[in-house]
Structure 1
Amino acid sequence: MTAPVLLVEEPAPGVRLLRLNRPEARNALSMALRRELVRCIAQASDDAAVRVVVIAGNERAFAAGADIKEMANASTVDMMARGVLGLWRATASCTKPVIAAVRGYALGGGCELALLCDMVIASETARFGQPEIRIGIIPGGGGTQRLVAAIGKHRAMKYLLTGAMFSGREAFEMGLASEAVPDDQVDARAVELACEIAALSPLAVQQLKDVALRGMDLPLDAGLALETKALHLLFSTEDQKEGMAAFIEKRPPKFEGR
């Protein structure tokens, strides 16, 4: 039997871990893997029992890029028919927080996958990069846009135009990674943060993610108005009443997502 390209794990209540599973190709993002990732993320978005998603690879690679063998002889029409942009959008549209746990290589599409997550926990020795320029193409999953937004124009252009790699420690120092930790702690730390978030009000968490991401593309006044309306909306939830009552009574809150 052929091994599944994506493994689904439940490391803790409310946390779903999606593990890329193409070790023979350093988790290169084949179309089959991309589609399965989209399917599982959509499933997690619709599952009330899932509050946080973690995406991980293995010790050698988070994802070493697109599957070059699948596209080497493709035409323009072939590339359009793949619909990769739509798959990236579907992945980015997850309503739950998504944490990337990055060990080993995160290159090309692998780097872009990490960039579209809400948090990145990186191994200090992980290797990030957008090396597409070295094979005669450019990034096509957001690398030219999200890398510039994450680390600034001049740093990003250095890596985009040369295809050079940078470490997980450098990714953290530049603002691409949320944390840089020893290699053997990456998955555990990502799950630990996921558990911390999963214990909070899922309604507040989803509203916060939505407002923060939408606000990035809005003028400040519009973003502030969106934030205020989301705050007011949360005052109609049982979670808000429970959270504030627990604070006043000096006890842990129990959020039910209502």
Structure 2
Amino acid sequence: MSSGVLFEFDNHIARVTLDRPKALNSIDPEMDAALFEAWAEINSNPDIWVAVLGATGEKAFCAGANVSGGTEGDGRRMALGGGLTGVGGPMLTLRKPLIAAVQGYAIGGGFELAMCADIIVAADNAQFGIPETKVGIIGEAGIMHRAIRQLPHHIAMALILTGERIDAQQAERYGLVNEVVPYEKLLETALSWADRIASASPLAVQAAKDAVLSRAGWPLDVALATRYEPIEAYAYSADRIEGRAAFADKRAARWSGR
């Protein structure tokens, strides 16, 4: 993996780590390319069932982007965060569950990257902010669109209009994060969430994520009437057979992800 991003996986859990602590883990084009490689590997590798996105150093998860919209090795435009945010280029859809482990500053593009996760665990020193209006810089407004969808309306508008930050405890109170823990327990807690997800059928988890997110902005009657290909495909999977057998035998299922 390229400089600035660490990647490893073990026991069906991938760990992606922003590793530029002296720059508050702000994302440059090289990191964007490395993140794209990580997401592509996670999507394509059937032995990876869940991913944890974290960062090195106590001071910051990510302080945004050095340059909006990095580039792949072949020169194509890429959205910030290796394509994950949809800001500055085409958006990449991560099919596997993603947990963000956030400490210190998560501001601007870093806040947006955290909001791309399915579950957010925050250290008690975390701060979330949208500084664009405060510093007089307004570009592509992806972070604002995400904030207004993931936070109560007036809380999101206050962040957007003032450029001020909220702390981890406020973020938990507003439903932005799932859990707040001491910094020393951040990675342990994020990996615990990953273990819990990995104990479920990986194909069922992926099918559920696809169904929920692909119709999140649609009326309920449309969502209910939609046919979801991953759910239909799951009916013919080895994991569905294993799930039924494990339930009948009253034992823990041995998932294969196939």
TM-score range, shorter chain: 0.7 to 0.9
**Residue 252 of structure 2 is aligned to residue 252 of structure 1:** yes
Q: Is the 8 A contact 1:92 1:116 kept in 2?
A: no
Q: Does the C-alpha gap of structure 1 residues 229 and 57 become closer, same or farther in structure 2, counting only changes over 3 Å?
A: closer
Opposite residue 61 of structure 1, the aligned amino acid is A
- Cα displacement (A) at 1:229: 6.9
- Cα displacement (A) at 1:54: 0.8
Q: Distance in 2 between matches of 1:111 and 1:139?
A: 15
Q: Per-residue displacement from partner, 1:59-86 (whole Å, max 9, x unpaired)?
A: 211101122xx57xxxxxxxxx965368
- Cα displacement (A) at 1:231: 4.6
Corresponding residue number in structure 1 for 2:7:
8
Q: Does the C-alpha gap of structure 1 residues 213 and 229 become closer, same or farther in structure 2, counting only changes over 3 Å?
A: same
Q: Is the 8 A contact 1:134 1:163 kept in 2?
A: yes
- Cα displacement (A) at 1:91: 6.4
Gaps of 5+ in 1: 72-80
Corresponding residue number in structure 1 for 2:61:
62
Identity over the aligned pairs, expressed in percent? 36
Which structure has greater helix proportion?
Answer: 1
Corresponding residue number in structure 1 for 2:187:
187
Opposite residue 207 of structure 1, the aligned amino acid is A
SS across alignment from 1:166: strand
Q: Distance in 1 between matches of 2:49 and 2:79?
A: 26
Q: Does the C-alpha gap of structure 1 residues 7 and 203 become closer, same or farther in structure 2, counting only changes over 3 Å?
A: same
Corresponding residue number in structure 2 for 1:113:
113
**Residue 190 of structure 2 is aligned to residue 196 of structure 1:** no
Q: Distance in 1 between matches of 2:92 and 2:78?
A: 15
Q: Does the C-alpha gap of structure 1 residues 230 and 222 become closer, same or farther in structure 2, counting only changes over 3 Å?
A: farther
Which aligned segments of 4 or more residues in structure 1 are displaced greater than 6 angstroms?
none
Corresponding residue number in structure 2 for 1:77:
none
User: What is the aligned counterpart of 1:43 among 41, 46, 50?
Assistant: 41
- Cα displacement (A) at 1:237: 2.0
- Cα displacement (A) at 1:57: 0.7
SS across alignment from 2:145: helix
Opposite residue 50 of structure 1, the aligned amino acid is I
Q: Per-residue displacement from partner, 1:207-239 (whole Å, max 9, x unpaired)?
A: 011011112121111212337776554322221
- Cα displacement (A) at 1:193: 1.2
SS across alignment from 2:117: coil
Corresponding residue number in structure 2 for 1:78:
none
**Superposition TM-score, scaled by structure 1 size:** 0.87
Opposite residue 244 of structure 1, the aligned amino acid is R
Opposite residue 21 of structure 2, the aligned amino acid is P
Q: Distance in 2 between matches of 1:47 and 1:41?
A: 10
- Cα displacement (A) at 1:158: 0.1
- Cα displacement (A) at 1:35: 2.0
Q: Does the C-alpha gap of structure 1 residues 140 and 180 become closer, same or farther in structure 2, counting only changes over 3 Å?
A: farther
Q: Distance in 2 between matches of 1:34 and 1:232?
A: 34
Q: Is the 8 A contact 2:47 2:257 kept in 1?
A: no
Aligned ranges for residues 154-169 of structure 1 at < 5 Å? 154-169=154-169
Corresponding residue number in structure 2 for 1:149:
149
Q: Distance in 2 between matches of 1:121 and 1:5?
A: 22
Length, aligned pairs only: 244
Opposite residue 43 of structure 2, the aligned amino acid is S
Q: Is the 8 A contact 1:38 1:91 kept in 2?
A: no
**Superposition TM-score, scaled by structure 2 size:** 0.87
Q: Distance in 1 between matches of 2:139 and 2:124?
A: 24
